Amino acid sequence: MEEAEQAEIQLGSWDGQTYTNSWTGITFTLPDGWTPLTSEQILQIVGAGNDVVEDSLDLESGSLSADTGGIDTYDFYAMRADGTAGFFCDIVNPAAAGTPSMTPEEYVQQASAMLQVMDGITVSTEEPEETTFGPLSGIQLNMTTTADATGLTTAMSYFVSAKDGYLLVYFLSASSQEGLTEVIDLIKQIDGTQT
């Protein structure tokens, strides 16, 4: 990526259970039993909590997004009610992180390396590859984590692509067969083509 001036992020919005983002080019409707999370819930999940300045929350625009200090902006985060599956989009600003030329390949390598050193989980990963799944395209990284204490296994996939100086990171996770089936069906019914 060049260090030219970045375009402004265009966040999507929810209309009930339907999410639309014309900038990324996708629309989908959550299945029964799924819910879009609020900014506060997103920040709690990603661990930002009280460290995020009030001004970085966008609660009035119809967009349930959360900005974690300029590096990550969570465009959406949806979760199955029982917590066994999730789907989110993180818009990463490599320039704000001091790595303006970070590629999707480098991002997934970094994500894998971070999980590999975490205590309490065993991680297995596949080799990242350029791929398309439904409307999502880019570098895909599949991995499985198993919690050492409980044996809970979670399947995860990252789809990372570059757009207007940012990285679009779509992340899918499931820790039950029902959750896995629903998240796969959710991706397959996305309308549009990621741009």
> What is the domain-level CATH number for residue 82?
3.40.1000.10
Beta strand 65-67 with 57-58 is antiparallel
In a domain, 5, yes or no: no
> In angstroms, rounded to a whole number, what is the distance separating the alpha carbons of residues 2 and 172?
29
| 35: pLDDT strictly greater than 70 | yes
Q: List helix spans (H) across 7-63.
A: 39-46
Q: Which two three-digit tokens encode residue 89? A: 């989009």
Domain assignment present for residue 19? The answer is yes
Residue 174 lies in a domain: yes
User: What does the angle CA 59 – CA 167 – CA 28 come to, to the nearest 5 degrees?
Assistant: 55
Within a 10 A sphere around the Cβ of 57, how many other Cβ atoms?
Answer: 17
**97, part of any domain:** no
Amino acid occupying residue 190: I
Strands (E), 40-83: 57-58, 65-67, 72-80
Name the nearest CA neighbour of 90 among 69, 116, 66: 66
* Domain region containing 177: 13-89+102-192
Token pair listed for 22: 């014309």
When computed from its CA atoms, the radius of gyration of the chain, rounded to whole angstroms, is 16
Residue 49 lies in a domain: yes
Query: In sequence order, what are the residues at sequence separation of 6 or more whose Cβ sits closer than 8 angstroms to the Cβ of residue 32?
Result: none
- pLDDT digits over 102-155, tens only? 999 999 988 888 888 888 889 999 999 998 877 788 999 999 999 889 999 999
Within a domain: 161: yes
- Under DSSP, the state recorded for 140 is E
pTM passes above 0.95: no
In whole angstroms, what is the distance from residue 139 CA to residue 132 CA?
9
- How many domains would you assign to the chain? 1
Is residue 83 one of the residues assigned to a domain?
yes
Q: Mean per-residue pLDDT for 43-62?
A: 44
- pLDDT value at residue 78: 94
pLDDT of residue 73: 86
Is 95 a domain residue?
no
